[in-house]
Amino acid sequence: MSFFKYHVFFCTNRRGESEQCCQDYGANEARDYVKQRLKALGMHGDGQIRVNKAGCMGRCENGPVIVVYPDAIWYTYVDRDDLDEIINSHLANGQIVERLRI
């Protein structure tokens, strides 16, 4: 049994100027937003959901990316509406958001 119901990793890697990376899309800000939303919803912390930064996860061409464990579901996102959909559908109700899945 996992210590957390879900563990969400945001790629926050910064690559060279000519290489695409998740940080080009505001990955740190997106991670901070999701963490704050989960706290406001009472869904963050021990036994619930943990949000972490990660280095490069090797899916730069799909960036920005997050992965949700233990489900091993990879997502991309464009804006806060996408992040809210992941929170409300997957993290709150266990329903994978197929349109954002990579």
Q: Residue 1 domain-assigned?
A: no
What are the residues whose beta carbons fall under 8 Å from the beta carbon of 51, sequence distance 6 or more? 8, 10, 31, 34, 35, 38, 44
- pLDDT value at residue 102: 95
Vertex 40: Cα angle to 35 and 97 (nearest 5)? 60
Q: What is the mean pLDDT of residues 79-88?
A: 98
The CA distances from residue 38 to 1, 18, 19, in Å, are 21, 34, 31
- Which DSSP letter does residue 4 get? S
Q: Would you say residue 1 has pLDDT above 70? A: no
Q: What is the mean pLDDT of residues 89-95?
A: 97
Express as a percent the part of the chain with pLDDT over 70.
Answer: 99
Q: Residue 79 domain-assigned?
A: yes
- CATH number of the structural domain spanning residue 30: 3.40.30.10
Q: Name the residue with higher pLDDT: 39 or 56.
A: 39
Q: What is the mean pLDDT of residues 65-87?
A: 97
Q: Residue 76 domain-assigned?
A: yes
pLDDT band at residue 61 using 50, 70 and 90 as cut-offs: confident
Q: Would you say residue 50 has pLDDT above 90? A: yes
- Tell me the residue ranges of DSSP E strands in the chain: 6-11, 49-54, 65-69, 73-76
Domain interval for residue 87: 6-100
**How many independent structural domains does the chain possess?**
1
